[in-house]
Amino acid sequence: MALTPATHTAPPAKFSHGVRKGNILQVAGQVGFLPAEPGKPPVPAGPTLREQTLRTFANVEAILREGGASWDDVLMIRVYLTEVEHFAEMNEIYNAYFADLTVAPAARTTVYVGLPPGLLIEIDALAVLD
Amino acid sequence: MALTPATHTAPPAKFSHGVRKGNILQVAGQVGFLPAEPGKPPVPAGPTLREQTLRTFANVEAILREGGASWDDVLMIRVYLTEVEHFAEMNEIYNAYFADLTVAPAARTTVYVGLPPGLLIEIDALAVLD
Amino acid sequence: MALTPATHTAPPAKFSHGVRKGNILQVAGQVGFLPAEPGKPPVPAGPTLREQTLRTFANVEAILREGGASWDDVLMIRVYLTEVEHFAEMNEIYNAYFADLTVAPAARTTVYVGLPPGLLIEIDALAVLD
């Protein structure tokens, strides 16, 4: 089942923002694009890391919800940053965002890669529902 | 169960090109190597992005088939490119390749990383069979 | 269920070193930190690639064990290196480490990314238990 929240632009290629099969839900790599406006190209939140990161979290969460899941179900989060210098600030934002989790936080891998100009962070997530 | 298509050289280390356990099938990172010739080192298709990408897709597909799966079963595709400038062309190739999918396309994450010289793209895939 | 081996420092943010849900176990990205000493910041093994890689494997394995799994259960290993030149040596270390596996080796993806200063390798793993 493809998951396409109303807030999202169509993917830029033939992939799904998220897919759920049985109790496994995979969220595609999300970046900090603001809610889609019809007929306009996607625009990232920003320019700060904080704004982009919070928007990226919101975009992941919208897909989880569309598939009947929540952050509580997420087993693994992959964080792609462009700058090693952003690690500490991203962690602060991350901790505040997940402060209220009542289950085990997801595992996580963070690595530093290239992203298209203007993008500072990309996040994807794997959820396994009970 | 290790999945080793006849077209593939032995992996360069003690890993499997693909593994299936129950209904979950993971394809290892594939690059655009041409079908293996006994006694010769692997040679990538190319030099164009198109040739390498199509060969990489074929290599992923061979492993899916070896495990009794198809692209229809794929939940997540990870694309590693070396050049941000290749994103648009890769998407064109991707869309044409998947034009006939009748199920929800897989989720996808694309990031830009380093690869050994001569390689432009690496792809891995996670399938969950019905 | 969060997996936190005694040898590990607390994660630097609100994530788990590993999580198991049902028969699926995800190990977070591990680096070559030496066993945690209370009150001290984490220190990577090294400075050689060999020392860091073996320590990183040990850190992954500790999490697998904490979750009731072993390398035999691992379906996928992701290896993040900082230097393309390290590929051959990493494979030698990898092959020796897994020489005694009696099951199909895990699938693997290796890509080259940035990591914080002093770190040469990061590894995560997905296990599916029987």
Look at residue B75 and give its three-state secondary structure: strand
Residue C74: which pLDDT band, with cuts at 50, 70 and 90?
very high
* Distance separating alpha carbons of residues B61 and B64, to the nearest angstrom: 5
Q: Report pLDDT digits (tens) over A89-126.
A: 999 999 999 999 989 999 999 999 999 999 999 999 99
Look at residue B127 and give its three-state secondary structure: strand
Tell which residue, C123, B109, B127, has the closest CA to residue A79.
B109
pLDDT of residue A39: 87
pLDDT (average), residues C26-37: 95
Amino acid (1-letter code) at residue C46: G
Paired tokens of B44: 């990538």
Question: Cβ(A26)–Cβ(A110) under 8 Å?
Answer: no
* Distance separating alpha carbons of residues B26 and B41, to the nearest angstrom: 25
Whether the pLDDT of residue A63 is over 90: the answer is yes
Question: Cβ(B18)–Cβ(B116) under 8 Å?
Answer: no
Nearest CB to A15 within list B105, B113, B128:
B105
Tell which residue, A129, B39, A106, has the closest CA to residue C18.
A106
Structural domains in chain A, sorted by start: 18-128 (3.30.1330.40)
Whether the pLDDT of residue B11 is over 90: the answer is no
pLDDT of residue C53: 98
pLDDT of residue B9: 80
Residue C39: which pLDDT band, with cuts at 50, 70 and 90?
confident
Q: Report pLDDT digits (tens) over B43-89.
A: 999 899 999 999 999 999 999 999 999 999 999 999 999 999 999 99
* Distance separating alpha carbons of residues C113 and B63, to the nearest angstrom: 26
Q: Contact partners of C by the rule of 3+ C-beta pairs under 8 A?
A: A, B
More confident residue, B9 or B121: B121
Quickly list DSSP for C57-71: HHHHHHHHHHTT--G
pLDDT of residue B55: 98
**How far does A108 lie from chain B, in Å, by closest CA?**
15
Question: Cβ(B108)–Cβ(B79) under 8 Å?
Answer: yes
Contacts of C95 in chain B (CB under 8 A): 13-14
Q: Which of B19, B24, B60, B128 to mutate to test the interface with C (most CBs of C within 10 A)?
A: B19
Q: Contact partners of A by the rule of 3+ C-beta pairs under 8 A?
A: B, C
Beta carbons of B13 and C130 less than 8 Å apart: no
Beta carbons of C107 and B24 less than 8 Å apart: no
Nearest CB to A75 within list C24, C80, C116:
C24
Residues of A with CB under 8 A from a CB of B: 1-2, 11-19, 21-22, 24, 26-29, 78, 80, 113-117, 122, 124, 126
Nearest CB to A95 within list C13, C26, C124:
C13
* Distance separating alpha carbons of residues B60 and C114, to the nearest angstrom: 26
Whole-complex ipTM: 0.96
Question: Cβ(C26)–Cβ(C18) under 8 Å?
Answer: yes
**How far does C52 lie from chain B, in Å, by closest CA?**
18
Question: Cβ(A28)–Cβ(A124) under 8 Å?
Answer: yes
Look at residue A130 and give its three-state secondary structure: coil
More confident residue, C108 or B7: C108
Beta carbons of B26 and C75 less than 8 Å apart: yes
Ranges of H-type helices in chain B? 49-66, 87-97
Beta carbons of C107 and B17 less than 8 Å apart: yes
pLDDT (average), residues B13-21: 96
Tokens 């690595």 correspond to A111
Look at residue A39 and give its three-state secondary structure: coil
Contacts of B101 in chain A (CB under 8 A): 14
The average confidence (pLDDT) of chain C is: 96
Lowest mean pLDDT among A73-82, A110-119, C36-45: C36-45
* Distance separating alpha carbons of residues C9 and C31, to the nearest angstrom: 12
pLDDT of residue B16: 97
Residue B12: which pLDDT band, with cuts at 50, 70 and 90?
confident
Neighbours of C98 (CB within 10 A): 17
Beta strands at A107-112 and C24-30: parallel, antiparallel or unpaired: unpaired
**How far does A11 lie from chain C, in Å, by closest CA?**
25
pLDDT of residue B68: 98
| % chain A with pLDDT above 70 | 100
Contacts of A110 in chain C (CB under 8 A): 29
More confident residue, A41 or C75: C75
Nearest CB to B108 within list A15, A24, A113:
A15
pLDDT (average), residues C59-65: 98
Contacts of C98 in chain B (CB under 8 A): 14
Contacts of A95 in chain C (CB under 8 A): 13-14
Residue B114: which pLDDT band, with cuts at 50, 70 and 90?
very high
**Cα A1–chain centre separation:** 19
pLDDT of residue B111: 98
Beta carbons of B14 and C112 less than 8 Å apart: no
Whether the pLDDT of residue C38 is over 90: the answer is no
Whether the pLDDT of residue A54 is over 90: the answer is yes
